[in-house]
Structure 1
Amino acid sequence: MNGKVSEVIEQPGAPVRTRASEFSYSPDDFNNVRQTLYRITGIRLADTKDAMVYSRLVRRIRALRKKSFSEYLGYLKRTPGEQQHFINALTTNLTSFFREPHHFSMLAQHLSVTPDVNTIWCAASSSGEEPYSIAMTVAEYFGHFNAPVKIIASDIDSNMLEKARLGVYSDQITRHLSAERCKHFLHRGKNQHAGSVRIVPELRKMVEFRQINLTVPRWPLPRQIDVIFCRNVMIYFDKQTQLRLLEKMVSLMPAQGLYFAGHSENFSMAPHLVRSVGNTTYQPVKGKHNG
């Protein structure tokens, strides 16, 4: 936080307490934030996230010159345009290039045995590292950028989508990419842009970014999705929402499709929807072509 700093003291399961608090923040405020976020996005915040909520929203409250969390929440209720700022502040965006690398190896293998893969959806693209890793894998498999595969990347956070479209990152990412990938897929910044890299335009053109809230009734997607990356997203939803979203995603997939989940996600509770075919990798039980 900048300006007048509050020292946040967080104890698991207890409402947040602050020393010299800059803004009034009660347990009711925290609960109202949680309920509002759940209503808009389906995301459930744990009881222990009260300090996180304070630190994330305090910057927005300052910018709007509000005097308390309750005043801000009233403004949020009256101002539909504030919802996106609220969502952007509270959603978590942790990602990296080729995170959980076994998934990208499985994707390349899948492309080799399933020649009719047309569409890949990255359902939580964050700042772009994951969909660009997908695009690199696809480009490497086909040997060129004009691959016959459409890559759609979506996120609920408009700020992250804008960053993803730009494709500009710290040059620290080169530590996690091979020299060959750096050569083919990155441009190094010069002069005032030194210390940064940018995804080459040919790779950026392979990815179409769209803003999608997974909990809305209709998604702006093609009728069939062959591969879905939905990793470390379901953990933010309750079980009922997880099953509803998984069922909806699987309904878009062919029988031979692949669904990549996050390392902490498990769908053993949904054997009627998916079956495991590898480490956090699933196929539909009832795809579009087998009933």
Structure 2
Amino acid sequence: MPVLDDWNLPFTDSDFSFIARLARQSSGIDLSDKKRDMVYARLSKRVRALGLVSFQDYCAVLAADPHGPETTAALNAITTNLTRFFREPHHFDHFARQALPDILHGLRTNPRRLRLWSAGCSSGEEPYTLAMVLSAALPSLAGWDARILATDIDTDVLGRAAAGVYGTHELERVPPDFRQRFFHPHSDGHFIVDEKLRQLIAFKPLNLMHSWPMHGPFDAIFCRNVAIYFSRADQTRLFERMADLLRPNGYLYIGHSENLFGLSNRFQLVARTIYRRLP
């Protein structure tokens, strides 16, 4: 049955099926029927922005150029960007107290090279949290080749992440000493991330279902609350590929509602939603 609202935009089963199929093929996002209202709410803005009168017309635009800018805009709109600084704080506590010392102890061939990956970084809170924790644990990074790769399929949020500007309410979970050390007043009551911290991070667009330009090895990967949007088969492929890029005994951090049970036998569970790649 068509879905209508006050703007009278028809949204049929066929329209939803087309969008779900396009999202699946383009990004691996698995849109079940329960996501229908969310898809309508988010994409209706795109329909109106283009001056169209129905989702059927919008689907025709997408079908005409499935790899074009409007498909990118649609995926950006559909993608969920819920994030915050120090989300799931036990991950960062484990990274600082357990993972980082283990990683540094194991660095023998190149003792001052460190590579971290924030996969699905959204608007940047996760990689900046990682950078703060890393900087606090290693006060002098001058002699280190330390880099954090931060990727997301949503090109809109990547721009905001790279800018590193956040409102006061967004910094509520940042410890006061970190807030004072790593954020500076900007404009209109906002704060900007310290330049040295931003230099640690490379923000790049990446579709996790497509080929990956990086070769690793990474010492730790944060891929949290991302795989839940993929099918089981795609989750298996994703974590197998990440295992290939993690160094032996490297760490993988996943979301609070995710696990690797039945998906990969290349990891060992070491703490809640924290895994270590087997040698």
TM-score (norm. length: structure 2): 0.92
After superposition, give the CA deviation of every residue in 1:90-133 in whole Å (9 maximum; x if it has no partner): 11000000101111111112222321262100001000000000
Distance 1:206 1:24, change over 3 A: same
Deviation at 1:19, TM superposition (A): 4.3
Structure 1 residue ranges (4+ consecutive) displaced by more than 2 angstroms after TM superposition: 15-22, 144-148
Gaps of 5+ in 1: 1-14
Asked whether the equivalents of residues 225 and 254 of structure 1 are also in contact (C-alpha less than 8 Å), the reply is yes
Q: Report the counterpart of residue 209 of structure 2 in structure 1.
A: 215
Deviation at 1:155, TM superposition (A): 0.1
Q: Report the counterpart of residue 74 of structure 1 in structure 2.
A: 60
Asked whether the equivalents of residues 119 and 150 of structure 2 are also in contact (C-alpha less than 8 Å), the reply is yes
Deviation at 1:76, TM superposition (A): 1.1
After superposition, give the CA deviation of every residue in 1:165-213 in whole Å (9 maximum; x if it has no partner): 0011111133211221011100123xxx232111111111111001110
Counterpart secondary structure, 1:183: helix
Q: Report the counterpart of residue 192 of structure 2 in structure 1.
A: 198
Paired residue type of 1:103: H
Identity among equivalent positions (%) equals: 35
Asked whether the equivalents of residues 145 and 206 of structure 1 are also in contact (C-alpha less than 8 Å), the reply is no
Counterpart secondary structure, 2:135: helix
Q: Report the counterpart of residue 281 of structure 1 in structure 2.
A: 274
Q: Report the counterpart of residue 166 of structure 1 in structure 2.
A: 163
For the pair 1:242 / 2:239, whether they are aligned, the reply is no
Asked whether the equivalents of residues 165 and 209 of structure 1 are also in contact (C-alpha less than 8 Å), the reply is yes
Aligned partners of 2:59, 2:124: CA distance in 1, in Å? 31
Aligned partners of 1:166, 1:224: CA distance in 2, in Å? 27
After superposition, give the CA deviation of every residue in 1:258-277 in whole Å (9 maximum; x if it has no partner): 00010000112135221101
Aligned partners of 1:178, 1:20: CA distance in 2, in Å? 45
Higher relative contact order (CA 8 A, sep 6+): 2
Q: Report the counterpart of residue 5 of structure 1 in structure 2.
A: none
Q: Report the counterpart of residue 7 of structure 1 in structure 2.
A: none
Asked whether the equivalents of residues 188 and 197 of structure 1 are also in contact (C-alpha less than 8 Å), the reply is yes
Deviation at 1:16, TM superposition (A): 6.4
After superposition, give the CA deviation of every residue in 1:140-185 in whole Å (9 maximum; x if it has no partner): 0111454432100000000010000001111113321122101110
TM-score (norm. length: structure 1): 0.88
Aligned partners of 1:219, 1:238: CA distance in 2, in Å? 19
Residue 24 (structure 2) aligned to one of 24, 35, 38: 38
For the pair 1:112 / 2:105, whether they are aligned, the reply is no
Q: How many equivalent pairs are there?
A: 268
RMSD (Å) for aligned C-alpha atoms: 1.5
Distance 1:180 1:59, change over 3 A: same
Aligned partners of 1:161, 1:257: CA distance in 2, in Å? 26
Paired residue type of 1:207: I
